[in-house]
Amino acid sequence: MPAISFQSVSKVYASTGKHAPPPFKALDDVSFDIEEGEFFGLLGPNGAGKTTLISILAGLARASGGRVLVHGYDVQKDFVAARRHLGIVPQELVFDPFFTVREALRFQAGYFGLRHSDDWIDELLDGLGLSDKAGANMRQLSGGMKRRVLVGLALVHKPPVIVLDEPTAGVDVELRQTLWQFISNLSRRGHTVLLTTHYLEEAEALCQRIAMLKLGRVIALDRTSALLAKAAAKVLHFKTDDALPPALAAQARVTGRIVELPAPMAAEVEHHLAALREAGVRIEDLEIRKADLEDVFIQLMSGPAPAAVPALEHAQ
Ligand SMILES: Nc1ncnc2c1ncn2[C@@H]1O[C@H](COP(=O)(O)OP(=O)(O)OP(=O)(O)O)[C@@H](O)[C@H]1O
Ligand SMILES: [Mg+2]
């Protein structure tokens, strides 16, 4: 049985009020399964529908069509059982500012009917580097610390499925590492993890499979290694102050002085270099690197209007 099963999920945000925008289809026939123990990435640009999908999974929003199962429990019909299997770290920071960190964790544990959870709460505080803040009020914490508490709150009832909606947004390098160590440990212990992130190197390093959403549709779903294999094999990377010839400019990704050119074959590297030389473009710090997930992502997102990939049954 899959840990999470999205079955033809659609979501239309209705128009409310006189000056409201027209109804908006945020999710369109989204179907895929996440297997037990999998570390799964859900990627997509701002507004692709990631948080909407997670809100439906969490039972916080209602799907307009289709259904979602968590360990076989329908998130609407069997809300309590489904919710018990889920630990959700939301994208938005929302708290009761009057609780201390420890009180918030105890309260959340009590909500799930766990009474004697102080040992586990101590372990969470320790693992998330919050031990010295256990007695602090939530409003006395920095943004990154609040996010750590959110992770603690999601895990306090020891859910088998952990869902993280951009857990590392606004989080410093050190904490990001602590957080990933902590989550990777849980993953090794058999927890299922669903992660959304805009840090694609994070997704590449952690996720076994990845789904990419664009305008509410799944446009790619595969093992991370297979997605990487689909990208151009190499990328030519250099710096320049000169304008590129039009043929190269059309394929280039330019960030300030840095230019990146996809080169599916070795011959294309030579071809690019010859074209640059011919156009008199002076280049510095030339490197040829392997394509990464960001290259795949940009390639897919800049493609033509998305057609949904066929629903994948237990794809592994
Ligand atoms: N309550 C709402 N009412 C109307 N439209 C909404 C509502 N919530 C989200 N949307 C719209 O649905 C689309 C998907 O939003 P969603 O928050 O799911 O995107 P996302 O993929 O999580 O983006 P991000 O990377 O910015 O977090 C957006 O166009 C958004 O404006
Ligand atoms: Mg979001």
Report DSSP letters for 117-163, one per residue: -HHHHHHHHHHTT-GGGTTSBGGGS-HHHHHHHHHHHHHTT--SEEE
pLDDT for the residue 289: 86
User: Among 147-156, 162-171, 237-246, where is mean pLDDT lowest?
Assistant: 162-171
pLDDT for the residue 253: 87
Q: How far apart are CA 314 and CA 168, in angstroms?
A: 28
State the Cα angle at 32 between 28 and 33, rounded to 5°. Answer: 150
CA 34 to chain centre: 14
Q: Which residues pair with 65 in a beta bridge?
A: 10
Question: Does residue 214 have its Cβ closer than 6 Å to ligand 1?
Answer: no
Q: What SS3 state is found at 303?
A: coil
pLDDT for the residue 104: 92
Atom number in ligand 1 closest to CA 11: 12
Rounded to an integer, the average pLDDT of 52-75 is: 95
195: CA distance to ligand 2 center in Å?
A: 11
299: CA distance to ligand 1 center in Å?
A: 23
State the Cα angle at 230 between 204 and 41, rounded to 5°. Answer: 30
Q: How far apart are CA 59 and CA 304, in angstroms?
A: 33
268: CA distance to ligand 2 center in Å?
A: 38
Rounded to an integer, the average pLDDT of 9-15 is: 92
Report which bound ligand comes closest to the CA of 198: 1
Q: How far apart are CA 41 and CA 211, in angstroms?
A: 6
Q: Say which residues have a Cβ less than 8 Å from residue 83's Cβ, sequence separation at least 6.
A: 58, 59, 75
Atom number in ligand 1 closest to CA 61: 1
* pLDDT tier for residue 305 given thresholds of 50, 70 and 90: low
Share of the chain above pLDDT 70, in %: 95
198: CA distance to ligand 2 center in Å?
A: 10
Rounded to an integer, the average pLDDT of 180-201 is: 92
Beta strands at 65-70 and 73-74: parallel, antiparallel or unpaired: antiparallel
Q: How far apart are CA 201 and CA 178, in angstroms?
A: 16
Q: Where is pLDDT greater, at 237 or 306?
A: 237
Specify burial of residue 250 (Cβ count, 10 A radius: 0-12, 13-18, 19+). exposed
**Residue of 52, 213, 301 to mutate, ligand 1, most atoms within 8 A of C-beta:** 52
Amino acid at 57: L
User: Among 182-196, 226-240, 294-308, where is mean pLDDT lowest?
Assistant: 294-308
Q: How far apart are CA 47 and CA 26, in angstroms?
A: 8
Rounded to an integer, the average pLDDT of 28-47 is: 96
* pLDDT tier for residue 307 given thresholds of 50, 70 and 90: low
**Residue of 16, 19, 51, 199 to mutate, ligand 1, most atoms within 8 A of C-beta:** 51
Q: Where is pLDDT greater, at 76 or 93?
A: 76
pLDDT for the residue 315: 41
pLDDT for the residue 172: 83
pLDDT for the residue 169: 79
**Average pLDDT of every residue of the chain:** 89
State the Cα angle at 74 between 72 and 79, rounded to 5°. Answer: 120
Counted residue by residue, the chain has a size of 316
pLDDT for the residue 265: 78
pTM, two decimal places:
0.85
Token pair 């840990």 in the structure block, residue: 3
Q: Say which residues have a Cβ less than 8 Å from residue 144's Cβ, sequence separation at least 6.
A: 170, 171, 172, 175
Asked if residue 46 has pLDDT above 60, the reply is: yes
Instruction: Enter the tokens of residue 69.
Output: 């199962």
Beta strands at 192-196 and 161-165: parallel, antiparallel or unpaired: parallel
Q: How far apart are CA 64 and CA 23, in angstroms?
A: 12
